[in-house]
Amino acid sequence: MSITDLLSVEDIKKAVGAFAAADSFDHRKFFQMVGLKKKSPDDVKKVFHILDKDKSGFIEEDELGSILKGFSADARDLSAKETKTLLAAGDKDGDGKIGVDEFSTLVAES
């Protein structure tokens, strides 16, 4: 399954483009723009599993840094600051990574 099976290519382009500048990433706005906020809980979980590149069941800090590339291969990497901010917003249990339920909550709170 591909990210474009779940989200519109047009929405992905607009969302990735909106945060092309360094240190401009806002996960709340991004998840809304990309159409993730409107998706069913099941589809949000499917997106999580696509973004979990190493299939560990978690999105770790290094995967978070390249989260935009999970939506569009030519997107930029997040800065260290953006990555830490996203991790802090999503890591509810403090284990240094984001699980599927934490990701679902992060999207729902957007």
Q: Binding site membership: which residues?
A: 52, 54, 56, 58, 63, 91, 93, 95, 97, 102
Annotated binding site for Ca(2+): 52, 54, 56, 58, 63, 91, 93, 95, 97, 102
Cα(29)–Cα(97) distance, rounded to whole angstroms? Answer: 21
Angle at the Cα of 98 (from 57 to 19), degrees rounded to 5?
115
Instruction: Answer yes or no: are the C-beta atoms of 77 and 67 closer than 8 Å.
Output: no
Helix (H, G, I), strand (E, B) or coil at 31: helix
